[in-house]
Amino acid sequence: MEHPVLWNLNWNFYDHFEENYKTEDDEGKAVRVNLPHTVKELPLSYFSHNETAMISTYAKELTLSEEPKERLILVFDGVMACFELYVNGRLVGEHKGGYSRSMFDITDQCQAGKNRVVLKVDSREREDIPPFGYAIDYMTYGGIYRDVWLYRCGESFISQVLARYDLKDGKVTLRPELLTDNRGQAYEGTVQISLLDVEGKLVHSYEQKVQVGSGKGSCVTLPEPVGELKLWNPKEPYLYTVEVRLEKENGTVDVHRVRTGFRTVDFRPEGLFINGNQIKIMGLNRHQSFPYMGYAMGKRAQEKDAELLKEFLNVNTVRTSHYMQSEYFLDKCDEVGLLVFSEIPGWGFIGGDGFKQVMLEDVESMILTQYNHPAVFIWSIRINESLDDDELYEKANALAHGLDASRPTTGVRYISNSHLLEDVYALNDFTYSDCDLDATKLFRGRSEATGLLEPVPFMITEFSGTAFPTKAWDSADKRTTHARAYARVLNQSCLSKEMAGIIGWCAFDYNTHGDYGSGDKICYHGVMDMFRIPKYAAYVFRSQKDPDEEIVMEPTTEFSRGDNKGNRLVSPFMVLTNCDYIEVEMYGKAPVRYYPDSRYIGLAHPPIEIEEEIGVWQDLWQDGKITGYYKGKPVAVKRFLRDSCLADLEVTADDQSLYGDYVDATRIVCRMRDEAGTTLVYFKGVLQIKTEGNIEVIGPDILPVSGGYGAFWIKTRPGAFSGSSEPAKVLVRLLNTGVEEKAIEIRLEKSGMDVG
Ligand code: GAL
């Protein structure tokens, strides 16, 4: 399958369904929308968790100049939570599951002229579809929230290529499997398989005969030795393209290209090995939600999250809690070398037969869709934190191994002594729940968790979370405790020989149901907030970077003398850094030198704890300074002001240019700072945003500053895009202050894609 049309523009949306919508529009009620789309934009907090639960309608016209000669295939990357597809009033099919890709052949329902494509979308929490049926600690939203693609294919086409291979003694043997869809007679075809490197240069090519059956089927190719290739690993994530050209005697049937990387995954009781090299997992869980739009954020936002996790946060692993995530996100994980623990949808509850059926379909869909991602190193095929159901999980495990013998399986429990049917025992462990500094037991040991005496592959997939909900505007004390909890747990994980590593709950704050979170429909469990602004805990990961790559030095204080409980002044605080040592100057006294703290000896770059107060309450407070040293030289300086005042509003955009011909979005971050650059976390103020040109603000254009920041996304308006090179503008004012308005220019470009 090649050259699809990105079929995202000009849908008619109704927040309800009526039978006659299958065949005609009611222009009075329709709202013109582009995808990705959410059935209802929500406020940031304090909405009802039922607001997106509805049966809605999406309709779009497909105009054909003549009777379809080719096959017309629609692919939906993600529609929450299930839908029926109608073309010209006739039912084509239905799909259950809000996180799985679906594909429909609409040829027979189409004719020359105008055709009406309609989706009846059910975003209610139906008990026959995971993760629903009981309670869930996250919002699932609703609508066509990922892309839609229209393909024109021949009678026979390749719907997917699973780039299977063996890798032994550094040598690769290719044996791709083709998933085919053939409306004609069975035939003998020839496949030409080409392996291309990252520059598109041919590395190897060969031909084979294959038998293509009638209907949907698969062609397994014979092993072809390719020899030594550059392997994919998290530090050097080298990628190749496998191109498969299917030929019949009268010409090319189809061409299909997939990107992949070559590596081995081996999960042993001693830990995780990629290409034989051990990697200690240090990761974070990711929910795919964003403020206001929920899940409906496109390619760029998905990619950005993967970059943030790997490049800013410096984690080596992400868990796609608790469902299959965007292919854009996974593609970027492949590119940046971020290992992915991929999971099926579900949360603590196993429903009836219908539910189990969809769950098994999800396992299959996850593996077939994500098979070629080298970053994905494990399939998590249990419903997160569900109890044992051996019959179901034996089936799920056998299904996963049958589809993919190259990756291990796991399932995430919170219980001990669960039956280990998969390859790896994964545990959510919130033992360390009050951050008592004297506590020595931070999590369960392997045997205590598994109930097994023999060592088995074992890892922890969640910690922190509800144990330390932390808001960006909490006291420095609280934010430091949050960071310290991360440092302690990560340290212990690094020292443990029993576990492959640990994944924290979680990367970003997220919207949730009233049953969970802080009562405002937000779980403040992230090391970053919903706008991806880092809290101090983020720097526990970030400071583990190699200092030759980047120096990191983040003190967990804004240097205020009256913000800590217990009559403590500025200290205790931490400096999260990869410097060799630091020097702290306070109260105008001589610098005091501090070294990485031996209590975190498991970490490559232990935090530095400053526990003593260098002065007393009666001393005159002075400007302060922290200097970081690496290889004997000062490499980082952070100054703090005694008389800290609002000095500036810093405005930065993640991207300087956007695509104008589909809905593209980027984040704008506004930071309130003083003269020395310290973020004014308790600043109360209001930002007003204006835009010029073909862009608009997502969410409100007047917003409060919180935690010293105000952030938002802007998106392009493809309907009004002419391709002109006139840049769009974002103007930000901090109301009722003397700070001058800030302007950012965003260039709008053509994507080069076929968009319709
Ligand atoms: C876990 C659950 C997560 C999240 C977390 C909060 O039990 O798997 O989804 O709810 O608790 O601490």
- Say what the pLDDT of residue 437 is: 80
The mean-pLDDT minimum among 349-358, 561-570, 591-600 falls in 561-570
Mutation to probe ligand 1, out of 347, 462, 511 (largest number of atoms < 8 A from CB): 462
Does an H or E element contain 212, and which?
strand 202-212
- Mean pLDDT of the region 103-115: 97
- Say what the pLDDT of residue 726 is: 81
Q: Read off the pLDDT band of 454 (50, 70, 90).
A: very high
Q: Where are the beta strands (DSSP E) in 588-684?
A: 592-594, 608-610, 624-630, 633-640, 648-653, 657-659, 665-673
- Mean pLDDT of the region 120-144: 97
Task: Verify whether ligand 1 is closer than 6 Å to residue 289 (CB atom).
Answer: no
DSSP-derived pairing of the beta strands 709-716 and 665-673:
antiparallel
Residue 558 tokens read as: 């804004």
521 CA distance to ligand 1 centroid (A)? Answer: 14
Q: Are 270 and 281 in contact (CB under 8 A)?
A: no
Using the atom order of ligand 1, give the atom closest to the CA of residue 385. 8
Q: Are 575 and 635 in contact (CB under 8 A)?
A: no
CA distance 408 to 267: 7
465 CA distance to ligand 1 centroid (A)? Answer: 7
- Say what the pLDDT of residue 1 is: 87
Indicate if 385 belongs to the active site.
Answer: yes
385 CA distance to ligand 1 centroid (A)? Answer: 9
Residue 96 tokens read as: 């259950």
Q: How many CB atoms lie within 10 A of CB 65?
A: 6
| pLDDT tens digits, 159-185 | 999 999 999 999 999 999 999 999 999
Task: Verify whether ligand 1 is closer than 6 Å to residue 462 (CB atom).
Answer: yes
Task: Tell me: pLDDT of 725 over 70.
Answer: no
Task: Verify whether ligand 1 is closer than 6 Å to residue 525 (CB atom).
Answer: yes
CA distance 565 to 206: 70
Q: Which amino acid is at 727?
A: P
| pLDDT tens digits, 592-603 | 999 999 999 999
Residue located nearest, by CA, to atom 3 of ligand 1: 137
Q: Which residue reads 């998905």 in tokens?
A: 302
Residue 600 tokens read as: 């975190």
Q: Which residue has the higher pLDDT, 726 or 295?
A: 295
- Mean pLDDT of the region 445-454: 96
For 22, residues 6+ apart whose C-beta sits below 8 A from its C-beta are: 86, 89, 116, 118, 120
CA distance 340 to 406: 15
**Mean pLDDT for all residues in the chain:** 96
- Say what the pLDDT of residue 637 is: 98
Q: Which residue reads 């074992």 in tokens?
A: 458
Cβ-count burial 180-204 (b if 16+ within 10 Å, e if not): bbbeeeeeebebebbbbeeeeeeeb
| pLDDT tens digits, 227-284 | 999 999 999 999 999 999 999 988 999 999 999 999 999 999 999 999 999 999 999 9
Active-site residue, selected from the candidate residues 224, 243, 303, 385: 385
Burial class (CB in 10 A: 0-12, 13-18, 19+), 607: buried
- Say what the pLDDT of residue 444 is: 94
Residue located nearest, by CA, to atom 5 of ligand 1: 465
Percent of the chain surpassing pLDDT 90: 93
Task: Verify whether ligand 1 is closer than 6 Å to residue 137 (CB atom).
Answer: yes
Residue located nearest, by CA, to atom 10 of ligand 1: 137
Task: Verify whether ligand 1 is closer than 6 Å to residue 224 (CB atom).
Answer: no
Active-site residue, selected from the candidate residues 125, 243, 343, 462: 462
Mutation to probe ligand 1, out of 288, 412, 428 (largest number of atoms < 8 A from CB): 428
Mutation to probe ligand 1, out of 134, 136, 137 (largest number of atoms < 8 A from CB): 137
Using the atom order of ligand 1, give the atom closest to the CA of residue 384. 8
Handedness of CA 538, 540, 541, 542 (dihedral sign): positive
Task: Tell me: pLDDT of 148 over 80.
Answer: yes
CA distance 407 to 401: 8
Q: Which residue reads 């850094």 in tokens?
A: 577
395 CA distance to ligand 1 centroid (A)? Answer: 25
The mean-pLDDT minimum among 64-68, 315-319, 400-404 falls in 64-68
137 CA distance to ligand 1 centroid (A)? Answer: 7
| pLDDT tens digits, 628-662 | 999 999 999 999 999 999 999 999 999 999 999 99
Read off the pTM: 0.98
CA distance 265 to 408: 8
Q: Which amino acid is at 159?
A: S
| pLDDT tens digits, 383-435 | 999 999 999 999 999 999 999 999 999 999 999 999 999 999 999 999 998 77
- Mean pLDDT of the region 66-94: 97
| DSSP track, 657-701 | EEESSS--EEEEEEEEE-TT--B-TT---EEEEEEESSEEEES-S
Task: Tell me: pLDDT of 568 over 80.
Answer: no
Residue 286 tokens read as: 């990711």
- Mean pLDDT of the region 198-216: 97
Reduce the DSSP state of residue 219 to 3 states and report it: strand
CA distance 552 to 555: 10
631 CA distance to ligand 1 centroid (A)? Answer: 42
Reduce the DSSP state of residue 306 to 3 states and report it: helix
Task: Verify whether ligand 1 is closer than 6 Å to residue 505 (CB atom).
Answer: yes
213 CA distance to ligand 1 centroid (A)? Answer: 46
Nearest Cα to Cα of residue 587 among 559, 628, 627: 559
Residue 507 tokens read as: 């990367």
CA distance 753 to 756: 10
Mutation to probe ligand 1, out of 505, 512, 518, 522 (largest number of atoms < 8 A from CB): 505
60 CA distance to ligand 1 centroid (A)? Answer: 39
Under DSSP, the state recorded for 587 is T
Mutation to probe ligand 1, out of 466, 509, 512 (largest number of atoms < 8 A from CB): 466
The mean-pLDDT minimum among 78-87, 490-499, 522-531, 556-565 falls in 556-565
| DSSP track, 81-141 | SEEEEEETTEEEEEEE-TTS-EEEE-GGG--SEEEEEEEEEE-S--TTSTT-SS--SS---
Residue 419's alpha-carbon distances to 99, 295, 412, 498, 643, in angstroms, are 27, 34, 12, 18, 60
Task: Verify whether ligand 1 is closer than 6 Å to residue 492 (CB atom).
Answer: no
Q: How many CB atoms lie within 10 A of CB 82?
A: 20
452 CA distance to ligand 1 centroid (A)? Answer: 25
Task: Verify whether ligand 1 is closer than 6 Å to residue 428 (CB atom).
Answer: yes
355 CA distance to ligand 1 centroid (A)? Answer: 21
- The Cα diameter of the chain in Å comes to 92
Q: Read off the pLDDT band of 152 (50, 70, 90).
A: very high
Q: Are 98 and 139 in contact (CB under 8 A)?
A: no
Cβ-count burial 394-431 (b if 16+ within 10 Å, e if not): ebbbebbbebbeebbbbbbbbeeebebbbbbbbbbbbe
Task: Verify whether ligand 1 is closer than 6 Å to residue 429 (CB atom).
Answer: no
Using the atom order of ligand 1, give the atom closest to the CA of residue 321. 9
Nearest Cα to Cα of residue 663 among 703, 587, 735, 721: 721
Nearest Cα to Cα of residue 542 among 575, 508, 577, 574: 577
Residues in the chain: 756
Nearest Cα to Cα of residue 663 among 694, 693, 690, 692: 694
Task: Verify whether ligand 1 is closer than 6 Å to residue 287 (CB atom).
Answer: no
Q: Are 241 and 229 in contact (CB under 8 A)?
A: no
Indicate if 650 belongs to the active site.
Answer: no
Task: Verify whether ligand 1 is closer than 6 Å to residue 384 (CB atom).
Answer: yes
Reduce the DSSP state of residue 475 to 3 states and report it: coil
